[in-house]
Amino acid sequence: MKVTRPELSWWERTYFPAILKGMKLTFSHIFRKRVTLQYPEERWTLPPGYRGQPVLLTGLDGHEKCTSCKLCQFICPPEAIRIVAGETELAKEKFPAEFDIDMGLCIFCGYCQEVCPVEAIWLKDAYELADYDRTNLIFDKEKLLALGRKPPYLPGREKPLEEGR
Amino acid sequence: MPLIRIDDQEIEAPQGETILRVALKHGIAIPYYCYHPALSIVGQCRMCLVEVKGAPKPLTACSTTIGTLPPGKKIEGKYDMVVSTKSETARKAQRGVLEFLLLNHPLDCPICDQAGECQLQEYSYTFGDPASRLEFEKVHAPKRVDIGPHVVFDVERCIKCTRCIRFCQEISKTGELTLSERGVYTRVDIFPGRELDNPYSVCTVDICPVGALTSREFRFKERVWFLKSVNSVCQECSRGCSVRVDAYKGEVLRLVPRDNPQVNGPWMCDYGRLVTERMKGLDLAGRPLLRSGAVWQGYEWKEFGAALVEKMAGFPALKSDSWAVVLSGRLSLEEMAGAQAVSQAFFERSAGSVPDVAWGEDDELLIRKERRPNLMGARLMGIPVGEQNAPLSGLLTGKKAALILREDPVGDAQGAEKAAVETALASMDLVIVADSAFTDTARLAHVFIPLAGWHEMEGVTVNFLGVAQKTARAVVPPRDRRPFYEVASLWLTAAGHEAPEPTFPGWHAKVKESVPGLAGTSIKDLLPNGLQVLDAPAKDKVKKGEGA
Amino acid sequence: MNAYWPIVVPALVKIVVILGIVLTGVAYTTLAERKVSAWMQDRRGPNRVGPFGLLQPVADGMKFFFKEDITPREAYRPLYLLAPFLTLFPALITFAVIPFGTQISVGGQTYPLIIAPGMDVGVIFLLAVSSIGVYGILLAGWSSGNKYSLMGGLRSASQVISYELGIALAVMSVVLWTGSFDFRRIVEDQAGWGHFWFVGPQFLAFIVFTVAVFAETNRLPFDLPEGESELVAGYHTEYSGLRFAMFFMGEYANMITASAFVVLLFLGGWNLPFVNYAWFGPLWGGLLSAVVFFAKVAVLLFVFIWVRWTLPRFRYDQLMSLGWKRLFPLALLNLVLISTLLVLRGHP
């Protein structure tokens, strides 16, 4: 591609006008209104669909919806998910005997939610996960299920995804 | 020979050969489910429909044979048959068949173990329609049917290709399975009162093109795309089947037979596969140990050579005949060479003998009663092989010291023989045991050397037919266990002797000096299907296949 | 009573006071840098530690103090440990020759407001000592055993060589004008009726000097030795803890020196138009002159920060071409012009 560059006068080519213009601009910003949000006293209103920490959802039968297909483990870019599959008496046959997400590794990309064929994993709007011990950041299945939504869902809504949107 | 044309390719094919075989041989992809090179042809699945010029409707490529036309009637003046696999008719037929096969398929790929290596998935992507036109409830059928100790059957996923039925009739010759019911309710069924419990039952899981038959041991263990595979050799009998070892995160999850016409065809016995289960119970030893009194002292490998030499120096009187050296048919050729070198350098004698452990009977297909994989290798290395199931107490009694490699004379024996071995070992001045697990024999030893398992190391074994094959490292040993040839290098160099590099190629070069059949070959010649190193191999009864 | 006491005690007092002012100045320049940058970007800047974040430098210092001091395995240890001192100390030593006010008279004694009052070649001393700092950067870059550090060190060396020519020539025109290497003489020449701050008559030299000084102190738009986008952190990539703090303080101390240099040479030192410090008496007049001097320095420091948060970084070839093809000829031209002027005026 051919770029046409503007012809500069001698004075402009010393760059002083541009520099002075820039300095005027930055100086004027000193007196503008501040945009900083004073976290944690002030908080942001999360937009719908905000991707926070991933959690596991409970199905209408009261069991976790996850069938341990491990697609989320496969797609997870930082490999934060660890699943050990097991066999269950339920109709779904396969269930996660263990399901750990290392929140210290999780990058909240939402691929797991997108790839899940049974809508069992979902990114909720929680983002304050700091801890003094890294091992506390490995959330096991019970913790993830407790954080996720449970039935009854709103009338006519089987999928928790749409709830509250 | 008839001249035929498949798509754009002109092929001279033998009379009476099927279109599918010819096409596969020439790299033309025709989809198929029920055809299997080692099984009879039934034309069951209809997936391989192709358009044959002159035929009123598409024909199954697997069961249509090639013939000759009289000279005046040749198609386009020269062809005996013109086949199209990509024409509109052929494509439409393939798409239609696939739609039928998927009509009542449960599509539970997320929980199906076959997903990732499923022909139904692959052909759906290549030939199928993206959506189903079925407007009604699918026909449901039982899931999770136990049809045998190692096989679980999902009736819904089955596409009725009958490969498993034919396997049981033709290969294992046990005939447990059949088709029952009619129409859409047709299902593979097991005869009343029978179980799919023949010694090769898991082969039906291998040949099942979909996820209808799954292995109980591998069921839900891991999705197949996570598995890391290496080509190796089963070490559970003197057959030495070619296998693929699938592992994930340091654990061997399954063994799958590799098609090797020289040795095992496409099959493998259940006993060999179940080595994954037997591995779980082993008391894996972590590092080299020396015992003084009742206290075991652990060593790092780099210190261990010197410690061992120092220990040996405490017994200068132990030479030649005061030693019992028990090798095992589980050792690879390289480890045997290491044992020979060690015997010569430290005991001033040749390496001892290899016990021939056997049980059961040879069967019609693969299983051999000799349960040590490398007996033929020992013979080729000039190491005597003992009489079948001869008690080991005879070798050990009256000796002052023993080196026992990969054998467990205490744990394997019973009754009086066990007592005799225990007394013999207890009365010795120095017992060195090397094994991949801490066995009952190791408890009586003064020195214990942890060895890598066969799935954790490289080594060459020679089966009873004289085919030399190479094992490969499927997993890194969970603790630092090493093959005996590495230990031998360590031991020899610590005492100032010359030794080959402590690696597989280093010792393999030494093996080649003593095994005439290997002279002038390279390690690559052993891949993938092994190398015949015996001049006059024994006769074998395996039904050979040509690639599944 | 030793005869040296009347000389040593005031010198020590001045050293303590000046070091105190400079080090506090360094600390609060870092805060100013963060605050001003925040304001220019519509942010608030540090405001959590103390009122308006005023204790932030203390917190930063504590953090530097308690951070682990890491020496990379590949580093050449003696030089690696020495380098931060070589950067910080010359920056502080320069204040020995910088006069920061007229003089104060207490108890019949007159004390000039400069640590080394007898030094009549202060300009040369300052140029010489401030050039030592680059050795610290070069050695830090080389001894870290890291390619990025090495590149940073090399860039710093070549940059300083290129721009010191401009500085020296610009200074020379001022020295020619006043006929002295003594800062006090230079400042006095800018005071009183009929005299101007040299920023007027020596405008070209002022421009060359200011631009070159930015390069000399490794400040944006000339911070190529650190160039984060290319060199991680340049010469101090491997440094941590107190040693990193020394580089950091060295950079800001150099900024203060450079600002003081500019003020002394071109902005009239502690002089204000129409103000004679003798009006305020011997004590207060001297103190007031010092306050005026440091206020001017503060304004220049603000300009340093202002420029940093306005201009993007130069490309390396642009940097070199500016130094050699623009500033150097300009400075030469200026020297010729000034010399001609002086000859025509018949200066002694």
Whole-number Å distance between alpha carbons of C122 and C109: 24
SS (H, E, C) B357-372: CECCCCCCCCCCCECC
CA distance A46 to C257: 49
Could you give the CA distance from residue C272 to residue C275 in angstroms, rounded to a whole number? Answer: 6
Put simply, whether A23 touches C (Cβ < 8 Å) is: yes
Element holding A17 (H helix, E strand): helix A16-29
What does the buried/exposed string (b/e) look like for B134-154 if buried means 16 or more CB atoms within 10 Å of the residue's CB? eeeeeeebebebebbebbbbb
pLDDT at C346 over 50: yes
User: What mean pLDDT do residues B151-172 have?
Assistant: 94
Residue C80 tokens, joined: 């690696």
Mind telling me how many Å the CA of A28 is from chain C's nearest CA? 8
Per the structure block, which two tokens stand in for B100? 């039928």
φ/ψ (deg, to 5) at A107: -110, 10
Q: Is A26 in contact with C310 (Cβ distance < 8 A)?
A: yes
Asked whether residue C135 carries a pLDDT value surpassing 90, the answer given is: no
Quick one: pLDDT band at residue B15, thresholds 50, 70, 90? very high
Q: Does A26 touch chain C (CB under 8 A)?
A: yes
Among A30, A31, A41, the strongest candidate for a mutation testing the C interface, having the largest count of C CBs within 10 A, is A30
Side chain identity at C126, as an amino acid letter? Answer: L
By Cβ distance, the residue of B220, B222, B225 closest to A87 is B220
Domain range list for chain C? 68-344
Contact A27 C39 (CB under 8 A): no
- Which residues in chain A touch residue C306, judged by CB atoms under 8 angstroms apart? 23, 26-27
Torsion of CA C293, C299, C301, C303, to 10 degrees: -150
Mind telling me how many Å the CA of A113 is from chain B's nearest CA?
15
CB contact under 8 A, A34 and C311: no
Chains in contact with A via at least 3 Cβ–Cβ pairs below 8 Å: B, C
**C42, C309, C311: residue with CB nearest A34:** C42
CB-based contacts of B209: which residues, under 8 Å, 6+ apart?
B33, B118, B119, B120, B159, B161, B163
- For residues C130 and C95, what is the distance between their CA atoms, to the nearest angstrom? 10
Cross-chain Cβ contact B223/A69 below 8 Å: yes
pLDDT of residue C6: 73
Tell if the CB–CB gap between B111 and A71 is shorter than 8 Å: no
In the predicted structure, residue A164 carries a pLDDT above the cut 70: no
d(CA B277, nearest CA chain A) in Å? 17
Contact B144 A92 (CB under 8 A): no
E-only strand ranges, B33-88: 49-52, 59-60, 81-84
- Predicted confidence at residue B548, as pLDDT, reads 38
Chain C touched by A135 (CB under 8 Å)? no
The CATH number of the domain covering residues in A54-148: 3.30.70.3270
Note the pLDDT tens digit of each residue in A11-37: 888 788 888 898 899 899 888 888 888
In angstroms, the separation between the Cα of residue B129 and the nearest Cα of chain A is: 20
Find which of A15, A19, A26, A42 to mutate to test the C interface (most C CBs within 10 Å of its CB): A26
**Higher pLDDT among residues B45 and C196, named by residue:** B45
pLDDT category at B479 given cuts 50, 70, 90 is: confident
The structure tokens listed for B299 are 């060593």
What is the sign, positive or negative, of the torsion defined by CA atoms of B230, B231, B232, B238? Answer: positive
Count CB neighbours of A45 within 10 A.
5
- Helices marked H in C69-146: 77-93, 122-143
pLDDT at residue B520, rounded to an integer: 87
Q: Using one digit for the tens of pLDDT, what is the confidence trace for C299-332?
A: 999 998 999 888 888 888 888 888 888 888 888 8
pLDDT recorded at residue A73: 93
| Mean pLDDT to the nearest integer, B99-112 | 91
DSSP reduced 3-state for C135: helix
Backbone angles phi, psi at B140, to 5 degrees: -100, 155
C98 within 8 A of C123, measured Cβ to Cβ? no
**Quick check: B422 pLDDT over 70?**
yes
Q: Among candidates B76, B34, B36, which has minimal Cα distance to B54?
A: B76
For A119-159, how does the pLDDT look when each residue is reduced to its tens digit (9 = 90+)?
899 888 888 888 999 999 999 999 999 888 776 655 555 45
Q: Are the Cβ atoms of C41 and A30 closer than 8 angstroms?
A: no
CB contact under 8 A, C42 and A19: no
Q: Does the beta carbon of A25 lie under 8 angstroms from any beta carbon of chain C?
A: yes
Q: Which spans in B471-530 are helix H?
A: 484-494, 504-514
Q: Which of B153, B220, B226 to mutate to test binding with chain A, by most A CBs within 10 Å of its CB?
A: B220
Residue B17 in this model has a pLDDT that exceeds 80: yes
As a whole number of angstroms, the distance between CA B241 and CA B235 comes to: 8
Instruction: Please name the residue of chain C whose CA is at the shortest distance from the CA of residue A15.
Output: C311
**C-beta separation of B233 from B469 below 8 A:** yes
* Residue whose pair of structure tokens reads 């692959």 in the numeric block: B122
| B110 and A CB contact within 8 Å | yes
Query: How far is C348 from C345, CA to CA, in rounded Å?
Result: 9
Q: Could you tell me which residues are beta bridge partners of residue B450? A: B435
Kindly report the nearest CA distance between residue A3 and chain C, in angstroms.
20
Contact C57, C31 (CB under 8 A): yes
Q: Does A27 touch chain C (CB under 8 A)?
A: yes
Which other chains touch chain C, taking contact as 3+ CB pairs less than 8 Å apart? A
Chain B residues closer than 8 Å to A70 by CB:
222-223, 226
Phi-psi region of C88 (alpha: psi -120 to 50; beta: other; left: phi over 0): alpha
Q: From B513, B532, B523, select the one nearest B463 (Cα to Cα).
A: B532
**Chain A residues touching chain B at CB-CB below 8 Å:** 67-71, 74, 85-87, 92-94, 117-118
How many CB atoms within 10 Å of residue A52?
Answer: 17
Count CB-CB contacts under 10 A for residue C191.
Answer: 19
Residue C205's Cα: distance from chain center in Å?
Answer: 17
Q: What is the mean pLDDT of residues B104-110?
A: 90
Q: What is the pLDDT of residue B194?
A: 92
Is residue B71 less than 8 Å (CB to CB) from chain A? no
Angle ∠(B82,B85,B86) on CA atoms, nearest 5:
120
Residue B264: both structure tokens together: 């095992």
In the prediction, which pLDDT does A162 show? 42
The mean pLDDT of C11-30, rounded to a whole number, is 87
The shortest CB-CB distance from A23 to any of C38, C44, C310 is to C310
Q: Is C346 left (phi over 0), alpha (psi -120 to 50) or beta?
A: left
Per the structure block, which two tokens stand in for C295? 């206020």
| Contact assignment for C41 to A29 by CB distance below 8 Å | yes
Cα–Cα distance list, A45 to A37, A50, A125, B81 (Å):
11, 10, 10, 73
Phi, psi dihedrals of residue B129, rounded to the nearest 5°: -85, 150
What sign results for the dihedral spanned by CA atoms C75, C78, C81, C82? negative
Among the residue ranges A96-105, B100-109, B240-249, C220-229, the one predicted with the least confidence is: C220-229
Beta strands B323-326 and A81-87: pairing type?
Answer: unpaired
Predicted ipTM? Answer: 0.81
Residues constituting chain B: 548
Segment C204-221 shows an average pLDDT of 85
- Counting Cβ atoms within 10 Å, is residue C158 exposed (0-12), middle (13-18) or buried (19+)? middle
- Using the beta-carbon criterion (under 8 Å), do A85 and B221 form an inter-chain contact? yes
pLDDT of residue C70: 84
Cβ of A74 and B223 within 8 Å? yes
DSSP per-residue letters across B160-193: ---HHHHIIIIIS----EEEES-GGG-EEEE-TT
- % of chain B with per-residue pLDDT over 90: 66
Neighbouring residues of C290: CB distance < 8 A, sequence distance ≥ 6: C100, C101, C113, C270
Chain C hits for A22, Cβ within 8 Å: 310-311
Least confident of A6-10, B93-97, B470-474: A6-10
**Helix, strand or coil for residue B249?**
coil
Q: Order the strands of the B467-471 sheet from edge to edge.
A: B459-462, B467-471, B531-532
Instruction: Please judge whether A23 and C41 are an interchain contact, meaning their C-beta atoms are less than 8 angstroms apart.
Output: no
Question: Bigger pLDDT: C156 or B459?
Answer: B459
Per cent of chain C over pLDDT 90 is 3
Query: pLDDT of B483-526, one tens digit each?
Result: 999 999 999 999 999 999 999 999 999 999 888 889 888 999 99
Which chain A residues touch B222 with a CB distance below 8 Å? 70, 85
Q: Which of C298, C310, B134 is nearest to A15 (CA)?
A: C310
B223 near A CB under 8 A: yes
From chain A, the residues in CB contact with C311 under 8 A are: 19, 22
- Tell which phi-psi region holds residue A93, choosing left (phi > 0), alpha (psi between -120 and 50) or beta: left
N-term to C-term CA, chain B: 26
CB contact under 8 A, A67 and B110: yes
What tokens appear for B75 in the block? 């198609």
For residues B486 and B335, what is the distance between their CA atoms, to the nearest angstrom?
Answer: 8
Q: Do C311 and A19 touch (CB under 8 A)?
A: yes
Alpha carbon distance C311, A22 (integer Å): 7
Contacts of A26 in chain C (CB under 8 A): 40, 306, 309-310
The tens digit of pLDDT for each residue in B364-374 reads 889 999 999 99
For residue A163, pLDDT over 50 is answered with: no
Tell whether the model's pLDDT for residue B268 goes beyond 90: yes
Contacts of B219 in chain A (CB under 8 A): 87
Which pair of structure tokens corresponds to residue C84?
């931060």
Would you list which residues of chain C are within 8 Å, Cβ to Cβ, of chain A?
A: 36, 38-44, 306-307, 309-311
Report which of B246, B241, B244, B273 is spatially closest to residue B260, judged by C-alpha positions. B241
Facing B110 at nearest CB: one of A71, A86, A87: A71
Give CA angle at B222 (B218, B227), nearest 5°.
100
Lowest-pLDDT range of B247-256, C80-89, C158-167, C217-226? C217-226
Nearest CA in chain A to B110: A69
| Chains B and C are touching, with contact defined as 3 or more CB–CB pairs separated by less than 8 Å | no
Q: Chain C closest CA to A125's CA: distance in Å?
A: 26
- The pLDDT value recorded for residue B546 is 43
What span, in angstroms and rounded, lies between the C-alpha atoms of C164 and B32?
Answer: 81
* Contact: chain C with chain A (3+ CB pairs below 8 Å): yes
- The CA distance from A66 to A117, in Å, is 9
**Nearest to residue B352, comparing CAs of B418, B315, B402?**
B402
Q: Which chains touch B (3 or more CB pairs under 8 A)?
A: A
Q: Which of C70, C173, C186 is nearest to C122 (CA)?
A: C186
- CA–CA dist B508, C32 (Å, integer): 71
Which residues are CB-neighbours of C9 under 8 A, at least 6 positions away?
none
Q: For the segment B269-306, what is each residue's pLDDT rounded down to a tens digit?
A: 999 999 999 888 777 777 899 998 889 999 999 899 99
Q: Which of A59-63, B148-152, C167-171 has the highest mean predicted lDDT (pLDDT)?
A: B148-152
Minimum-distance CB partner of C43 among A22, A23, A35: A35
Whole-model pTM? 0.74
- Name beta bridge partners: B260: B265
Give the best residue of C34, C35, C37, C42 to mutate against chain A (max A CB count within 10 A).
C42
